[in-house]
Amino acid sequence: MTDEYIVQRVLDGNTHIFSEIVDKYKDKVFSMVYRFTNDYNEAQDLSQEVFIQVFKGLHLYNEKAKFSTWLYRISYNLSVDWSRKNKKRLKQLFFSEENLKEPFDEGSDIEKNFIEKQKQILLRKAVSSLKEKYRTVIILYNYQNFSYEEIAEIIKMPVKTVETRIYRARKLLRKSIGNSNYGGELYEVQSDA
Amino acid sequence: MKCSQMHELIDRYLDGIQEGYDMESFRQHIRQCKSCRIMLDEKRELMYLFKSDAGPEVPLNFTNKVMESVKDLKAPARVKAQKGCAISYPVFRRLGVSMLLTAVLMIFSIFIPPEFGGAINGMAVERTSEIVTRTSELSKDISKINNSIKAFYKNFENTLSSIRR
């Protein structure tokens, strides 16, 4: 079933079929919201709110646009609104290992696992300290794996602007992480390109 | 190729975008320039950190919780055309924007400094007056058109009824 077909069915009164939309997009929406809030419980509440807003606004969905883009735009708007209302809270966040997955299989070097987790924590801190316009594109591109064009549609910016912001954001992240220089060995120099 | 060009090229290289760029010169520069090689490795490490941080899983029963929340909500319905008003939404939107502009100009004219007040105030007052007049004309036009369409529908219904008889 296509998204548009499901939308039509819901508008015809078959509300229960909305669960198909939720099942299809919950992972990506939750992941996006979590990257903006950096709080598991907040992300849970906010991502539920995303789907409630999607449900309420289904009659406004214009089939000329892709449904997924429309949905992700709602998710993005709510996430950014939350970030703006909770600026102080974001600055005081304690980044723990709780919600970090094991980067390697069991039995791998424990010390290496630990260092990788600490680097990820450092990176998350650095991302959350970026200005909103840079944080947004980094989350959508590097964490959510959207393309430049998809990001441009979601945040309603030209593709070139998205591209430029991503490059600048990465530059800022390198600078920020380089200054933190966890353990003095954050970057391991490898072989040539 | 200069080092100053390498920042963006390295990002594009790591993103897999190679079209339109001289990759042979890029690779040659990387082989010869230690600082750019270090930068490439640092950026590669950064990309790896992003990829390896998958984040937490979506909570269990997430879909059930969402459906619990929406089941009490009124189901969204398709937007139907309003009876008795055949004027399109964009016309009302233009009317609203005109009135908003009027209000903004009037507020703006209060706060401008005295040295600019004269000319700008005069222009603002004139423009405000134009907008108010135009808004009023638009309202009258809309009202006339609405009445004409109502009359047309009434005649149409009467004609249909007589045909049915």
Q: Is the CB of B53 less than 8 angstroms away from the CB of A123?
A: yes
The tokens for A109 are 């070097």
Residue with tokens 């849970």: A44
CA distance A9 to B129: 50
In this structure, how many other beta carbons lie within 10 angstroms of the beta carbon of residue B57?
Answer: 13
Average pLDDT, chain A: 84
Residue A107 pLDDT grade (very low, low, confident, very high; cuts 50, 70, 90): low
Residue A102 predicted with pLDDT over 80 = no
The tokens for B129 are 């007056």
Residues A112-141 pLDDT 10s = 788 888 888 888 889 988 999 999 999 999
Q: Is the CB of A59 less than 8 angstroms away from the CB of B79?
A: yes
Q: How close A155 gets to chain B, by Cα (Å)? A: 20
Residues in A closer than 8 angstroms to B32, CB to CB, are none
In this structure, how many other beta carbons lie within 10 angstroms of the beta carbon of residue A69?
Answer: 13
Q: Is the CB of B70 less than 8 angstroms away from the CB of A52?
A: yes
* pLDDT for res A189: 39
Residue A85 predicted with pLDDT over 70 = yes
Residues B22-43 pLDDT 10s = 788 888 898 999 999 988 988 8
CA distance B96 to B105: 14
CA distance A95 to B90: 48
ipTM topping 0.90: no
Q: Are the beta carbons of B107 and A86 closer than 8 angstroms? A: no
CA angle A183, B12, A133 (to 5 degrees): 70
Residue A185 predicted with pLDDT over 50 = no
CA distance B144 to B138: 10
Which among B52, B63, B78 has CB closest to A116? B52
pTM, two decimals, is: 0.67
* pLDDT for res A187: 44
For range A165-190, the mean pLDDT: 67
* pLDDT for res B84: 45
Q: Which residue of B has its CA nearest to A126?
A: B46
In this structure, how many other beta carbons lie within 10 angstroms of the beta carbon of residue A22?
Answer: 22
Of residues B103 and A16, more confidently modeled: A16
Measured CA distances, A101 to A26, A33, A127 (Å) = 19, 17, 18
Residue A193 predicted with pLDDT over 80 = no
Residues in B closer than 8 angstroms to A101, CB to CB, are 53-56
